[in-house]
Amino acid sequence: MKLIIKKSDLLDTPCNGYDNLPDGKFDAIKEIANRGNHAKDVSWLIANYKLAQTPKMLAYFKSLNPLARDVSWLITNCKFTQTTKMLEYFKSLNPPIEDIGLLITSCKFTQTTKMLAYFRSRNPSAHGVYLLILYCKFAQTPEMIKYLKSLKPSAESVHSLIASCKFIQTAEMLEYYKSLNPSAEDVSSLIANYSLAQTSEMLTYYKSLKPSVNDVHWLITNCRFAQTIEILEYYKSLNPPVYDIYLLFFYCKFVQTSEMIKYFKSLSPSAEDVRLLITNCKFAQTAEMLKYFKSLKPPKKDVSWLINNCKFATRIRRRHNETNDKKE
């Protein structure tokens, strides 16, 4: 078999393995044979040279025992091969479920109820169905969601699907997600990132999972919806350590209140804890907090460190010294 062409006949530039093609006319089939006679190279030629789009060339392609992925690529990239006959040939190769999903996702010609039925007949895993729904809008149907549920997906998979696929973001899917017993950490992530989950019911459900102090801390810090007095009181009920409160002050403006300062003091923080708070949180840089710091009788090294590392404390010290100088 021969196919005489020029480089300029091709719709695209061949891969690096064909950089040394002759400048004039050459036999494309011979050149492919010289480089290993790979089916994927023939499929590329068919897709990129219209005169190669013939039944004879397709027969030659099939004679090279192509992989299912090569056939999938050809069907996706060459309209000439988008036929029922080629689709049946693809199926005859017993393609991996991943290749079937990729073909349906990438090629509109294959986006039919018949192909979805074929996909399901190959017993895909819940993850395979998850990927198809996520990346293929055609597969985003109530029927496919029902099929996914029948495969008992993990809570993590459903969480990821809700997070990534707008079609899935419904109250019904949220209820289904809760039925899978997700971790408190996953639920807090969902609440923080998606308005769908930002409801009082979801916060109540979240608390029922007995989240850790760290996770509630994270939610308050990262989710404006969760920045409420109610959640703050819940956080306190978990008896967070003093250092955790300090970090909350540092990262979350919502908690920077006189009420929270009182709560912080009620935990009997060490002089070091107070020093860190004053140094790193502008809200805590007050004369009152400095007075409180002194009342804890901090070691001289802590006082020196505060004066040397906190501009607010340095200014207060300077003013104090100036006042004493005037008195003298």
pLDDT tens sequence across 158-201: 999 998 899 999 999 999 999 999 999 999 999 998 888 999 99
Nearest to 299 by CA among 324, 274, 318, 262: 274
Residue 17: Cβ within 10 Å count: 13
Average the pLDDT over each of 55-64, 98-107, 132-141, 279-288 and give the range with the smallest value. Answer: 279-288
Can you read off the two tokens belonging to residue 260? 């929270």
How many residues can be counted in the chain?
328
The answer to whether the CB of 282 falls within 8 A of the CB of 256 is no
Query: Mean pLDDT for the chain?
Result: 89
One-letter amino acid for residue 198 of the chain? Q
Are the C-beta atoms of 102 and 131 separated by less than 8 Å? no
Instruction: Please give the biggest Cα pair distance in the chain.
Output: 110
Q: What is the pLDDT of residue 21?
A: 79
Non-local (6+) Cβ contacts of 317 within 8 A are 307
pLDDT at 6 over 60: yes
- As given in the structure block, the two tokens for residue 249 are 């002050």
Measured between alpha carbons, how far is 135 from 137 in angstroms, rounded to an integer? Answer: 7
CA 310 to each of CA 20, 85, 321: distance values in angstroms, whole numbers, following the listed order = 68, 77, 17
**Mean pLDDT, range 101-114, rounded to an integer:** 97
Angle between helices 287-295 and 271-280 (to 10 degrees): 160
Give the percent of the chain with pLDDT over 90: 63
Tokens of 225: 């919806």
Sequence-distant (6+) residues with CB within 8 A of 11 are 47, 48, 49, 50
**For the chain, how big is the Rg over CA atoms in Å?**
33
pLDDT at 189: 93
Instruction: For residue 32, give both structure tokens.
Output: 């492919």
Q: At residue 26, what are phi and psi to the nearest 5 degrees?
A: -150, 160
- Looking at the chain, the whole-number percentage of residues with pLDDT higher than 70 is 95
- The three-state secondary structure class of 96 is coil
Is residue 321 over pLDDT 60?
no
pLDDT higher than threshold 60 for residue 325:
no
- Please state, in angstroms and as integers, the Cα–Cα distance from residue 81 to each residue in 78, 87, 103, 136, 304, following that order: 6, 9, 13, 21, 79
- Where on the phi/psi map is residue 126: left (φ > 0), alpha (ψ -120 to 50), or beta? alpha
Of 18 and 89, the structure prediction assigns the larger pLDDT to 89
Confidence of residue 318 (pLDDT cuts 50, 70, 90): low
**What is the pLDDT averaged over residues 1-12?**
80
Of the candidates 304, 264, 314, 308, the one whose C-alpha atom is nearest the C-alpha of residue 284 is 264
The beta strand positions in 109-232, using DSSP E, are: none
CA angle in degrees (0–180, nearest 5) for 41-44-50: 130
Alpha-carbon distance 233 to 207, whole Å? 12
Predicted structure pTM score: 0.75
For residue 253, the one-letter residue type is: K
Q: In whole angstroms, give the CA distance from residue 322 to residue 271.
A: 26
Spacing of C-alpha 260 from chain mean position: 34
Side chain identity, residue 301? K
